[in-house]
Amino acid sequence: MKFYNVIIKYRFYLGILAIVLAITVNIVASFWPSFILYFIGVIALFSHFFIGPLRLIQEPMEKGDTAEVERILASIWFPKLLYSPIRSTYFTLKGNLAMMNQDFDSAEKHLKMSSSIGTAMPEAEGANKLQLGMMAMQKGDMRQAETYMRAALRAGLADNESKAVAFLSMCQFMVNKREFRAAKDFFRKAKACKPTTPQVVEQIKEMDKHMARMPG
């Protein structure tokens, strides 16, 4: 596995080396002896730009090494050449890193780019929409936030914590619009997720105090 990661890391330079050697062999001998080197070089360069090095990100992400993740992403010179699901993941990662750095404008831009591309994994699309919804709420754009939250729930969310956040957000939107029956329904769904994140649990406790007195 480590050997394969080394190949991915230096794939571009190995591709260039193979092409240079192929040209040399072609000049000294003929085309056919150099064919395999041409083939290896073209495949290496094609995979570098079409697939990219995102496979290398898993280990630094597990270690929480964001600096290494940023370095790997920076090594992708032409993200528009990436295969669309990989390109979507690239922009999602860029958005997540920007959020960690509290650069919300850049985060929103990258997450919207990821969303416009789409993804083969509905859960990833749902998580993307959830993040966009949270950012819209921070900006006070509740109409856009509700649109994103509904889209996140339609796409599907991978874990109960995320589902609880989305349902609680929808509950708040319904309360603001005085659609109390819908608000209670979303609140029941949020509680049914049984979240364990302290902030979400505390929010449920606070909202629970008001639900009983709410009409509908």
- CA–CA separation, 39 and 62 (whole Å): 35
Domain enclosing residue 200, as ranges: 163-216
Looking at residue 1, what is its pLDDT? 59
CA distances from 177 to 146, 201, 208 (A): 11, 24, 18
Classify residue 107: in a domain, yes or no. yes
- CA–CA separation, 175 and 211 (whole Å): 10
Q: Which of 158, 176, 198 lies at the terminal end of a domain, its last residue?
A: 158
Tens digit of each residue's pLDDT (9 = 90 or more) over 127-154: 888 989 988 888 889 999 999 999 999 9
Same domain, 141 and 174: no
Same domain, 153 and 70: yes
Q: What is the DSSP letter of 158?
A: S
Tens digit of each residue's pLDDT (9 = 90 or more) over 89-102: 899 889 888 887 88
Same domain, 146 and 178: no
Same domain, 144 and 167: no
Using a CB cutoff of 8 Å and minimum separation of 24, what contacts does 16-25 make?
16/41, 16/45, 17/41, 18/44, 19/45
Tally of domains within the chain:
3
Which of 21-25, 111-115, 157-161 tops mean pLDDT? 21-25
- Reply yes or no on whether the pLDDT at 170 is more than 90: yes
Classify residue 56: in a domain, yes or no. no
Q: Which of 124-128, 140-144, 191-195 has the lowest mean pLDDT?
A: 124-128
Looking at residue 37, what is its pLDDT? 95
Same domain, 151 and 70: yes
